[in-house]
Structure 1
């Protein structure tokens, strides 16, 4: 069971770390090739952009799981603990609904991109791989929202921070 917990805790973080390291290397290669050798490696800019898109969508769920998203909680702090839980749950349900919508629409978008067969300009990779970040990211977000909703009501502490 501990292996499943480790995978659950670090799944997105592993990919985000790999994408961030790769993106940094690509940007470093681009800068060196442009300013030292006077010629740029064109595919590194495109690859970095696509990795950044994936980074953005993969971090949404982690933000919810670790309670790192920006929030204005002045009114929430004035409420009793049970009202705080209810208000948080309402927000989670609203974001969950929006996430499900984005998973569905993202799936349709990926399907359309597969039919069109569009490829990227420099690397010639299928663009549906780039657009796949939308449904995958929001699918992981829905999973994380379910987890924190369950934790909100099963945790013995008053309110999660």
Structure 2
């Protein structure tokens, strides 16, 4: 396992740990919200906001991870349309470049601007700076760009290995 693969392994594990932990938290929080609302007749005030913010983070981090392991629904759908290996490789490159440009412009640049602009705005219940919530955008963008680059590096290494074996 080379350095790129080692770093990739730990990035994957960190994302999975965070998203799985937040998903468990989402389920527990939703159960708590239902319990306090219908059993105690006194709904929890902060739960809805915490769950909403957690859901944003799970969704964006999960989408980055899904893109990294090439299981994103749009990629799977588009790649299934091409039959020839050469067409699939060209389509994959076009998709990766398009997503790379989109992630840099919208998620990283735009997300960073949104995050910084909203640091003085606080959430109504928790009083948390909204920039912390919006920080999921540039982080997701950076992770997606990272996955695009590492996927390309690993594919190139596999192709070189295949040529050497032949």
TM-score bucket (shorter structure) = 0.7 to 0.9
Aligned to 2:10: 7
Q: Is the 2:46–2:126 contact (alpha carbons within 8 Å) kept by the matching residues of 1? A: yes
CA RMSD of aligned residues (A): 2.0
- The offset of 1:3, in angstroms, is 6.2
Aligned to 2:40: 37
Deviations 1:66-120 (A, max 9, x none): 221222335422x2x2342222112101100100112011111111112xx1111
Once superposed, which parts of structure 1, at least 4 consecutive aligned residues long, lie more than 4 Å away? none
Q: Which residue of 109, 122, 134 maps to 1:104?
A: 109
Aligned to 1:54: 57
Aligned to 2:148: 145
Moved more, 89-98 or 57-66: 57-66
Q: Does 1:155 align with 2:161?
A: no
Unaligned stretches of 5+ in structure 1?
none
Q: Which residue of 128, 133, 143 maps to 1:130?
A: 133
Q: Is the 1:61–1:145 contact (alpha carbons within 8 Å) kept by the matching residues of 2? A: no
Unaligned stretches of 5+ in structure 2?
none
Aligned partners of 1:22, 1:9: CA distance in 2, in Å?
A: 20
Aligned partners of 1:139, 1:152: CA distance in 2, in Å?
A: 20
Q: Is the 1:57–1:137 contact (alpha carbons within 8 Å) kept by the matching residues of 2? A: yes
Aligned residue pairs total 154
